[in-house]
């Protein structure tokens, strides 16, 4: 990054770490520590500390045989997740607009980040009574329909590891057997529903979006006040419609159409 573009809010080590990643992205053959020092204008000791930290996070890899550094697999994974999420929103938004017009309720697209569901896009409705916007907010996946439908295809081992990790961080963990039973039902039905999970008096319905490999890449979620989300409406109108739109969106990612 050009020094003239820096601001009083810049954190030098973070700035240099990003500069280092950009540099390695332009030199796929790798660069030595000496070359990195020369290019990013930092002392050898500080450059070593920055690049070692990036190595520990998997963003950079060190080839001990040649002594060079190059981008690590986690950099590729991070970029892939970003592009996939951006591509998902691009494809999903027109469909979400159609759903919102058809049902008169708010529609969201959500993705999984570690053990949390994050709401990344929204199409609002014109109702006078509606839920507060959730875009940008995250919740533990096990607490709501969107998160559960996103994790329903995960293996039991992965779920156990994720919940144990949450417990080590001091967060409350749900009853695993009960959660697994609920996820089994969601796997069978292809849809998840909840009430009061995202706010008192709010009900939501979520279906998974899959890619060509059958991997879940996001969840299409419709939510609204519980007094409008009556069981008869959910079962006969909203669930079949969301499943149809989810199949349509999944097909854009190469997934063969499946029935809910």
pTM of the model: 0.63
Q: Are 224 and 105 in contact (CB under 8 A)?
A: yes
Average pLDDT over residues 220-234: 94
Bridge partners for 207 per DSSP: 220
pLDDT in tens, 13-67: 788 888 888 888 878 788 999 999 988 888 999 999 999 999 988 889 998 889 9
Confidence of residue 229 (pLDDT cuts 50, 70, 90): very high
Asked if 232 and 200 sit in the same domain, the reply is: yes
The Cα–Cα gap between 193 and 177 comes to 19
Asked if 22 and 45 sit in the same domain, the reply is: yes
With CA atoms as reference, report the closest residue to 55 among 86, 84, 20: 20
Q: Is 181 left (phi over 0), alpha (psi -120 to 50) or beta?
A: alpha
Task: Quote the domain boundaries for residue 60.
Answer: 3-71
Structure tokens at 179: 């959660």
Cα torsion 146, 152, 154, 157: sign = positive
Confidence of residue 1 (pLDDT cuts 50, 70, 90): very low
- What is the number of domains present in the chain? 2
Asked if 91 and 207 sit in the same domain, the reply is: yes
> What pLDDT does 171 receive?
55
Contacts of 103 (CB under 8 A, 6+ apart): 125, 222, 237, 238, 241
Asked if 177 and 248 sit in the same domain, the reply is: yes
Contacts of 217 (CB under 8 A, 6+ apart): 84, 88, 111, 209, 210, 211, 253
Task: Give CA angle at 260 (125, 224), nearest 5°.
Answer: 20
The Cα–Cα gap between 184 and 144 comes to 15
Domain membership flag for residue 108 = yes
Listed residues 52, 71, 90: the one ending a domain: 71
The CATH number covering residue 105 comes to 3.30.450.40
The Cα–Cα gap between 91 and 93 comes to 6
């Amino acid at each position: 990054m050009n020094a003239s573009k820096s601001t009083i809010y810049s954190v030098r080590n973070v700035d240099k770490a990003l500069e280092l990643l950009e540099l390695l992205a332009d030199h796929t053959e790798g660069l030595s520590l000496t070359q990195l020092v020369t290019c990013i204008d930092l002392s050898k000791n500080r450059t070593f500390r920055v690049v070692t930290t990036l190595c520990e996070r998997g963003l950079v890899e060190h080839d001990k045989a040649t002594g060079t550094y190059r981008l690590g697999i986690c950099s590729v994974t991070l970029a892939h997740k970003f592009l996939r999420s951006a591509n998902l929103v691009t494809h999903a938004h027109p469909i979400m607009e159609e759903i919102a017009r058809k049902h008169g309720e708010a529609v969201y697209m959500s993705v999984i980040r570690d053990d949390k569901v994050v709401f990344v896009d929204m199409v609002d409705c014109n109702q006078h009574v509606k839920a507060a916007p959730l875009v940008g907010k995250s919740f533990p996946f096990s607490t709501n329909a969107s998160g559960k439908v996103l994790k329903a295809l995960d293996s039991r081992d992965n779920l156990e590891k994720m919940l144990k990790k949450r417990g080590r961080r001091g967060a409350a963990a749900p009853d695993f057997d009960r959660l697994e039973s609920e996820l089994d039902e969601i796997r069978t039905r292809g849809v998840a529903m909840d009430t009061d999970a995202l706010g008192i008096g709010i009900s939501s319905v979520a279906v998974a979006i899959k890619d060509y490999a059958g991997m879940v890449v996001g969840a299409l979620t419709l939510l609204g006040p519980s007094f409008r989300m009556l069981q008869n409406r959910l079962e006969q109108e909203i669930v079949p419609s969301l499943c149809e739109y989810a199949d349509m969106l999944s097909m854009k990612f190469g997934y063969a159409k499946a029935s809910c």
